[in-house]
Amino acid sequence: MAGGDRLPHNVAMITLTVEAILVVLLVLVLMQFFKKKTAPPPGPDLANLKPGDALAGDVISISGAGDDYSDLDFTADRCSWVQAGTHHWSELSGPYKERRVSMRVATNADGDVEVAIHTDPRRLTVGDFGLAEPDLDDLDQRQNTEDWFEFDGKNWLYRLSREAQATSSQGQPVGFYYWEFQERDGPGLLAIRKAEGEPFAITLYTGVAAGNVTVYRGTR
């Protein structure tokens, strides 16, 4: 009878042990599951950085885009991300010789990366285009992509205008109104900004092949 009394006790102990093991295994499985779910996505391949991967602190080299067809090499010390309606792009700028240059990277509706650079040393005004503020207001009201004006012997087609916002890692978002014009049958892109209480800011870009851009990760 004594042995018979110990049997239920032994069975109970075995059952408790098995249950404890199962609980531990369940906890381990859940820990692995959530660890995988919360793991950060892999970073970019630092040996093959694309223009869209560029950040402030990176060194950017663009083949044949510098003065006298040399390479344009600069260290980006400013980086911002711009949103204008459904359009968005990044802008990086830095010193080159005695002036500042910049690179703009966008993705078009087909998913292709479009890169444009600003190297023109001129300080342009809307008057240089034969325009005034009422003309820009009229273009904004019309929203007509057949509208154009002539500048530098080229025709510049209206592309879009709307409220925009630029965000950088160095400060608060900045709002402004934005107009964009594309050179007819050419690589030029003309961007006009107007922040409240500020004069018009004009940037003249030239499109370049994304394959001509090399990005080297810098220190931060």
Angle at Cα 194 formed by Cα 192 and Cα 196, nearest 5°?
175
- Phi first, then psi: what are they for 184, rounded to 5°? -70, 125
Per-residue pLDDT at 26 exceeds 50: yes
Q: What is the mean pLDDT of residues 142-155?
A: 97
Per-residue pLDDT at 1 exceeds 50: no
**Mapping DSSP to helix (H, G, I), strand (E, B) and coil, where does residue 73 land?**
strand
Per-residue pLDDT at 23 exceeds 90: no
Per-residue pLDDT at 39 exceeds 60: no
Tell me if 104 sits within 8 A of 113, measured CB to CB. Answer: no
Would you place residue 7 in the very low, low, confident or very high pLDDT band (cuts 50, 70, 90)? very low
Per-residue pLDDT at 28 exceeds 80: no
Per-residue pLDDT at 13 exceeds 70: no
Beta carbons within 8 Å of 93's beta carbon, 6+ residues apart: 76, 77, 78, 100, 101, 102, 103, 118
Q: What residues are paired with 155 via a beta bridge?
A: 150
pLDDT of residue 2: 47
- Report the alpha-carbon distance of residue 204 to residue 123 in Å, rounded: 10
pLDDT of residue 49: 96
- Report the alpha-carbon distance of residue 61 to residue 73 in Å, rounded: 4
Q: What is the mean pLDDT of residues 196-212?
A: 97
Q: What is the mean pLDDT of residues 74-94?
A: 96
- Phi first, then psi: what are they for 194, rounded to 5°? -145, 105
Would you place residue 44 in the very low, low, confident or very high pLDDT band (cuts 50, 70, 90)? confident
Q: What is the mean pLDDT of residues 184-190?
A: 97
Per-residue pLDDT at 204 exceeds 90: yes
Out of 31-35, 75-79, 126-130, 149-153, pick the least confident: 31-35
Tell me if 95 sits within 8 A of 79, measured CB to CB. Answer: no
Work out the mean pLDDT of the chain and round it to a whole number: 88
Which residue type, as a one-letter code, is found at position 178?
Y
Would you place residue 59 in the very low, low, confident or very high pLDDT band (cuts 50, 70, 90)? very high
Q: What is the mean pLDDT of residues 54-80?
A: 96
